[in-house]
């Protein structure tokens, strides 16, 4: 397996990314809303994983956004691709001279991967307001 990471190019990669999302049942995602800065991991020109850096306004920070993998690949290949993608995103964030890169997830595997790559848990409390359940009326 020969995995490589590259800058996401919507002109060339958008259809392939749409196919990955469709396989995952996420075909309603508007690919035009993806952040400008993204990376892909490929194996012989086939996209195995993709992720993006969403800049936070008025700060020198960003969020890791929209990780997606090819569900047809075996778990080991997806795992290696996600590790390479995470490293590439961190390197890209450093090259952009960002002060911080944030990640939000409830998925245990994602949290383990983030810790493995140097992310630390913050003591902040995340809050949400459901706009469909009558909260906030």
pTM comes to 0.88
100-123 pLDDT, tens digit per residue, is 999 998 889 889 999 999 999 998
Q: Residues 20-78: pLDDT tens digits?
A: 988 888 878 888 889 999 999 999 889 999 999 999 988 899 999 989 999 999 999 99
User: Domain limits at 65?
Assistant: 3-116
The verdict on residue 12 lying in a domain is yes
124 in a domain, yes or no? no
Backbone angles phi, psi at 109, to 5 degrees: -60, -40
Judge whether 36 and 66 are in contact, CB under 8 Å.
no
Count of domains forming the chain: 1
Residue 125 in domain = no
Q: How far is CA 117 from CA 13, 27, 68, in A?
A: 26, 30, 18
pLDDT at 137 over 70: no
Q: What is the reported pLDDT for 96? A: 95
């Amino acid at each position: 397996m020969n995995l490589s990471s590259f800058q996401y190019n919507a002109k060339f990669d958008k259809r392939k990314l749409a196919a990955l999302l469709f396989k995952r049942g996420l075909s309603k995602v508007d690919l035009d809303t993806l952040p400008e800065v993204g990376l892909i991991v490929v194996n012989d020109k086939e996209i195995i994983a993709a992720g993006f850096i969403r800049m936070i306004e008025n700060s020198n920070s960003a969020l890791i956004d929209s990780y997606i993998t090819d569900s047809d690949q075996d778990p080991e290949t997806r795992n290696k691709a996600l590790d390479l993608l995470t490293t590439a995103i961190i390197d890209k964030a450093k090259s952009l001279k960002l002060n911080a890169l944030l990640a939000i997830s409830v998925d245990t595997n994602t949290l383990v991967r983030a810790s493995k790559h140097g992310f630390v848990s913050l003591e902040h409390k995340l809050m949400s307001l459901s706009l469909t359940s009558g909260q906030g009326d």
